[in-house]
Amino acid sequence: MPDGGTLTFSARPEPMTDSDIQSGRLAETYVRISVHDTGAGMDATTLVRVTEPFFTTKPVGKGTGLGLAMANSFAEQSGGALTIISAPGEGTTVTLLLPSTGVRELAVAPTRDEATTAINARRSSILLVDDQALVRNVIADLLEDSGYDVIQAGDAAEALDVLMAGKTVDILVSDLSMPGLDGISLIRAAQAQRPGLPAVLLTGYVGDAPLLTLGGSFSLLRKPVNRNQLVDQVEALLAKADAACEKSLEQ
């Protein structure tokens, strides 16, 4: 609320409903925690994306775009839910519905997409590099939830140490802007150590795209990136690397 306003916090118990049962939420009672502001509100286009990791309407360097994404993930992992109601000129209400008692497990069959992702992942190992621990942990969670093993590194030097130690790494995922070696320099050094190593470069700066794609032996993804985009790219590069390996063995 850049022009000031009112924040209203509320909390109240709420019993389980039929919609909770249909959604797999089986706590006997919940706590509904709501925060309402009288700010500018959000339009429908923004509202549909606010829980995506790295999505933010703030200027570069002013926000990570992880607050609501982490709140949504926390709610789901707790057996609850997060809802957001907003409209231009009408403020915003964010509500967390959390179980207040133990939750009984409900077996839910994986969706076709989830099953396919788990099969395709084959516990491949990803070396994830980002100097921002909060961002790195969120991306790691997304990848691990999709069936991958993730090795985390806080900078290029640490990542290169991982490779030199001989650890299994099937693909490298790196942020562009980091202290010391940047993402491009890291990818080049890593591929010098391990020729053919697939790599994904993440950047939040749209203006970098034309330059970065020139002669780069990596795939470029611009932030904000969601799990499907990242996993699809990782799977495509791993499949391409597997095909190249099989072809070389046949020759």
Q: Give the tens place of pLDDT for each residue, 178-224.
A: 888 889 899 999 999 999 899 999 887 655 444 444 445 688 888 77
Mention every residue, 6+ apart, whose C-beta is less than 8 A from residue 66.
53, 54, 134, 135, 138
Mean pLDDT for the stretch of residues 15-33: 65
Give the model's confidence band at 46: pLDDT under 50 very low, under 70 low, under 90 confident, else very high: confident
pTM score, whole prediction: 0.57
Radius of gyration of the chain from Cα atoms? 21
Q: Give dist(CA 184, CA 164) in Å, integer.
A: 18
Q: What is the CATH number of domain 112-250?
A: 3.40.50.2300
With contact defined as beta carbons under 8 Å apart, do 100 and 123 qualify? no
Is the predicted pLDDT of residue 47 greater than 60, yes or no?
yes
Q: Which of 74-88, 107-121, 163-177, 226-240 has the highest mean pLDDT?
A: 163-177
Q: Where are the domains of the chain?
A: 7-99, 112-250
Strands lying side by side in the sheet with 81-86:
7-15, 29-37, 92-99, 81-86
Is the predicted pLDDT of residue 235 greater than 80, yes or no?
yes
Q: Give dist(CA 30, CA 119) in Å, integer.
A: 35
- Phi, psi torsion values for 122, nearest 5 degrees: 50, 35
Is the predicted pLDDT of residue 103 greater than 60, yes or no?
no
The whole-number pLDDT of residue 68 equals 80
Is the predicted pLDDT of residue 143 greater than 80, yes or no?
yes
Tell me what percent of the residues of the chain surpass a pLDDT of 70: 73
Mean pLDDT for the stretch of residues 109-116: 49
Could you list the beta-strand ranges (E) of 70-115. Answer: 81-86, 92-99
Torsion of CA 76, 81, 82, 83, to 10 degrees: 140
Q: What is the CATH number of domain 7-99?
A: 3.30.565.10
